[in-house]
Amino acid sequence: MRIQFLGTGTSHGVPMIGCNCDVCLSSDPNNHRMRPSIVVSHGEHSVLVDTTPELRMQAIRFGLKRVDAVLVTHTHADHIMGLDDMRRFNDLADAEIPVYGEPNVLEDIKRIFNYVFRVTQAGGGKPRLTLHELPDKFNLYGIDITPLRVIHGKLPVIAYRFDVPGDSGKLLSGAYVTDVSEIPAETMARLRNLDLLILDAVRFEPHVTHFGLYQALDVIAELKPKRALLTHLSHHFDHSRTNALLPEHVRLAYDGQLVEFGNTGAADIIPEHAPRLI
């Protein structure tokens, strides 16, 4: 199993429009953050978590050519507004693509992308998507997927746990927990024994709808994943200065970061940073 970060930024992205701070003006590519999304792959299959407004640029920049299914965390704009870009993955695979979400998420998608789900003129084509209510637990392409309840301000949203059996029989396990300000006890119990925990940390200080860095570090200390990568990052975090403050097994994620799960844990595959095509 591999996980690649397509974007690690908060809803504004970094740089943020009209901001002249050090991080927004930084030439370090790790300080350039598109809206948050990951792709989880196993064998030749890929499962995309959320479709950001930058999905097209993310796919081009990181060479994503195949998406077999989409999982949705919630329907804030930074997580769904690229759904129309799924057309290219339909064309490349010559197939419909399933989208999984909670009932209220599927309702929102049908309302926001109304033209997709009713008979209208096709124009440049419409994404061909089938909508599926999230089961409690399911398997896609050999990946066991467990949707988990977390709280984003007052909004209940979904985090995902991914498990695959490794060569030695040990489970290889990762979880994507973004847009969260509170993790209920029953979800905490299901986030144990992770090789990699990906967790929301929007800024240093607490925030009404997201974890601040210190809250995220408290959760990591309690769950004790082998490794943790922080995402949904704002311009308050300079990549290298912040990483220097963090415990060894905790880092800020960066766009394009590619992690492979093996019997010793979740290790970075040092990516050639793909050239910036856009």
Residues that bind Zn ion (CB under 5 A): 11, 16, 19, 21, 24, 76, 78, 179, 235
Query: What is the spatial distance between Cα 126 and Cα 120, in angstroms, rounded to a whole number?
Result: 10
- Please compute, for residue 36, the number of CA atoms within 13 A of its CA located in the half-sphere on the CB side: 28
Structure tokens at 143: 């990946």
Nearest residue (CB) to Zn ion, 32 versus 88? 32
- Residue nearer to Zn ion on the CB measure, 173 or 178: 178
In the complex, minimum distance from the CB of residue 178 to Zn ion, in angstroms, rounded to a whole number:
7
Helix (H) / strand (E) element for 35: namely: none
Residue with smaller CB distance to Zn ion, 21 or 274:
21
Rounded least distance, CB 10 to Zn ion, Å: 7
Is 49 within 8 Å of 39 (Cβ atoms)? yes
- In whole angstroms, what is the distance from residue 27 CA to residue 48 CA? 28
- Identify which of residues 27 and 168 has a Cβ nearer to Zn ion in the complex: 27
- Report the interhelical angle of 86-93 vs 55-62 (nearest 10°): 50
CB of 39 to Zn ion, least distance (A): 17
Nearer to Zn ion, 78 or 85 (CB): 78
Contact predicate 243/251, CB 8 Å: yes
Distances (CA, A) of 157 to 33, 74, 104, 114: 22, 6, 10, 22
Question: Between 66 and 207, whose beta carbon lies closer to Zn ion?
Answer: 207
Least distance between Zn ion and beta carbon 244 (Å): 20
**Smallest gap, in angstroms, from Cβ of residue 276 to Zn ion?**
19
Which parts of the chain are beta strand (E)?
A: 2-7, 37-42, 45-49, 69-71, 97-101, 129-133, 138-140, 143-152, 155-165, 171-177, 196-200, 227-231, 250-252, 258-262, 265-268
Degrees, nearest 5: CA angle 102-127-16: 75
Least distance from Zn ion to the Cβ atom of residue 90, Å: 25
Q: Are 109 and 80 in contact (CB under 8 A)?
A: yes
Q: How far is the CB of 95 from Zn ion (least distance, A)?
A: 28
Task: Using the minimum distance from each CB to Zn ion, give the nearer residue, 61 or 232.
Answer: 232
